[in-house]
């Protein structure tokens, strides 16, 4: 087990032990993904079908109603986790604890109000429904409406916007649609992972398209490799869960192109970590690991969210990410009714998730 904050050179040597979870690809792709760890070729007589066909869309093992329940659970779970976690946002761990959806926190919210995580997810959902993909210009324009006018906010005001997201939108205003940036490793915040659920719901019939569109929605604000790849990893898991995969499958290692730190999360090393070894900062790797750890160590939605939220620090984002995973795993029906009743715009968010599911395009992505 290794500390995910170790330097990259140390990590590159360490993750060679997980090379069996890399798909077969060209050397140039391997270099771009930073997973050429030594000179041994990945293509060999021992190459598995999974390494060659990692992005095949899973067949749905659920009824349409059951799959739809999981899809709605993913988006409502995001918002519920956001609303529960905001109470402890920015606090040091164990300074206080949350046992319910109570509001308060640094923004003095009412119980059931949510923050930037859900606002951005709703902007993304609207973009998908209007454009049929994560159209960068449309998505950025909606984010600007939120930033400038409180569009898709729980209380009509833009608050809790991250520094990297704010910078991206300011640059978009200054430079125009051609702007791309926030590619430095230091900008690998969690904004794209906390809003991912709509993409995975809409592209539930095409794993490869969901993987691609996860990158597209990320680079609207976050172009750092780890931010993109963490979002793609979450997208992969959500598509599988919406199509019926169980917890054992979801939390097992998978074959896909991954950055070193994401690969270690994929390998499941967090399962051996104690609470004190789990970080809950706004760094995307910390957020992803904490969310996975929280869902792995519980067996129902409520406990997963409370475990995630009580890690504190970026509590709303960790709980929102855990909420996507737990919501897709246990379904909308597995989310406590009292939390759904308190959730601001609950019916609208559920309706939007259902529309994303119902309008999912067929798998024609090449």
Binding site members for Mg(2+): 115-117, 314, 316-317
List of residues 6+ apart from 299 with CB closer than 8 A? none
3-class SS at 349? helix
The answer to whether 327 and 76 are in contact (CB under 8 A) is yes
CA distance 362 to 204: 9
Q: Are 327 and 349 in contact (CB under 8 A)?
A: no
Interatomic CA distance for residues 68 and 201, integer angstroms: 9
- Hey, what are 25's tokens? 């690809």
Three-class DSSP category at 313: strand
Contact 233, 33 (CB under 8 A): no
Distance of alpha carbon 200 from alpha carbon 206, whole angstroms: 9
Binding-site residue positions:
115-117, 314, 316-317
Check if the beta carbon of residue 292 is closer than 8 Å to that of residue 304: no
Q: How far apart are CA 246 and CA 160, in angstroms?
A: 34
Angle (deg, nearest 10), helices 315-330 and 116-131: 50
């Amino acid at each position: 087990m290794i500390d995910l904050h170790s330097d990259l050179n140390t990590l590159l040597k360490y993750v060679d032990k997980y090379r069996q979870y890399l798909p077969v690809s060209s050397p140039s792709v391997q270099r771009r993904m930073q997973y050429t760890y030594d000179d041994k070729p990945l293509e060999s007589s021992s190459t598995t079908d999974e390494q060659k066909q990692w992005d095949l869309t899973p067949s749905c093992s659920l009824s349409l109603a059951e799959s739809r329940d999981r899809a709605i659970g993913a988006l409502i779970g995001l918002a519920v986790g956001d609303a529960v976690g905001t109470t402890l946002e920015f606090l040091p761990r164990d300074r206080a604890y949350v046992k319910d959806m109570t509001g308060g926190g640094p923004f003095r919210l009412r119980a059931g109000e949510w923050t930037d995580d859900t606002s951005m997810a709703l902007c993304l959902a609207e973009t998908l429904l209007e454009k049929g993909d994560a159209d960068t210009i449309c998505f950025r324009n909606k984010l600007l409406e939120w930033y400038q006018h409180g569009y898709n906010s729980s209380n009509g005001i833009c608050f809790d916007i991250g520094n990297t997201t704010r910078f991206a939108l300011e640059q978009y205003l200054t430079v125009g649609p051609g702007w791309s940036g926030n590619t430095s490793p230091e900008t690998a915040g969690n904004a794209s992972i906390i809003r991912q659920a709509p993409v995975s719901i809409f592209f539930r019939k095409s794993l490869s398209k969901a993987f691609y569109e996860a990158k597209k929605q990320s680079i609207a604000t976050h172009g750092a490799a780890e931010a993109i790849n963490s979002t793609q990893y979450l997208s992969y898991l959500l598509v599988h869960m919406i199509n019926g995969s169980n917890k054992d499958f979801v939390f097992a290692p998978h074959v896909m192109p991954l950055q070193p730190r994401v690969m270690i999360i994929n390998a499941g090393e967090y399962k051996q970590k104690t609470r004190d070894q789990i970080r809950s900062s706004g760094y995307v790797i910390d957020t992803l690991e904490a969310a996975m750890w929280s869902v792995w160590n519980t067996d129902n939605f409520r406990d997963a969210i409370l475990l995630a939220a009580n890690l504190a620090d970026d509590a709303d984002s960790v709980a929102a990410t855990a909420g996507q995973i737990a919501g897709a795993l246990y379904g909308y029906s597995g989310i406590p009714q009292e939390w759904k009743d308190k959730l601001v715009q609950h019916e609208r968010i559920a309706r939007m998730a259902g529309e994303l599911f119902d309008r999912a395009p067929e798998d024609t992505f090449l």
